[in-house]
């Protein structure tokens, strides 16, 4: 699934008020973190993730890997945070 620019902007607006659900530290992406991200995006559809300063890996590569492994869409990477979206079978979020 790909998002249009209007849908992406809508999701960014929703995520703006959210606090990060996960914080990724110096261990980077472990199988436990991926499992937690997968569970969180399955429950909420839209999540924000923060990468701590002690993580030396590239933020964009972490975000892309997390999106790929959780089968979700990378909505945005801004600073040391990124937003993931995966529609549920019964979506709570209605895209424009």
- Distance, first Cα to last Cα, the chain: 15
The model's pLDDT over 6-56, given as tens digits with 9 standing for 90+, comes to 999 999 999 999 999 999 998 888 999 999 999 999 999 999 999 999 988
For residue 90, name the pLDDT band (cuts at 50, 70, 90): confident
Contacts of 59 (CB under 8 A, 6+ apart): 51, 77, 79, 80, 82
Report domain extents, the chain: 5-84
5-84: CATH architecture: 2-Layer Sandwich (3.30)
Kindly report the CA angle at 44 between 75 and 27, in degrees rounded to 5?
A: 70
pLDDT at 47: 95
pLDDT, mean of residues 66-91: 93
Q: What is the pTM of this model?
A: 0.91
pLDDT at 3: 87
Is residue 1 pLDDT above 80, yes or no? no
- Pairing status of strand 73-78 against strand 46-51: unpaired
Three-class SS of residue 76?
Answer: strand
**Exposed / middle / buried, residue 37 (Cβ in 10 Å: 0-12, 13-18, 19+):** buried
Contacts of 43 (CB under 8 A, 6+ apart): none
């Amino acid at each position: 699934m790909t998002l249009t620019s209007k849908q992406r902007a809508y999701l960014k607006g929703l995520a703006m008020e959210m606090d990060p659900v996960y914080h990724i530290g110096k261990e980077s992406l472990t199988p436990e973190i991926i499992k937690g991200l997968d569970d969180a995006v399955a429950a909420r559809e839209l999540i924000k993730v923060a990468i701590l300063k002690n993580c030396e890996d590239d933020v964009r590569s972490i975000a892309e890997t997390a999106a790929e492994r959780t089968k979700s869409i990378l909505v945005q990477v801004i600073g040391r945070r990124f937003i993931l979206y995966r529609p549920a079978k019964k979506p709570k979020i209605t895209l424009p």
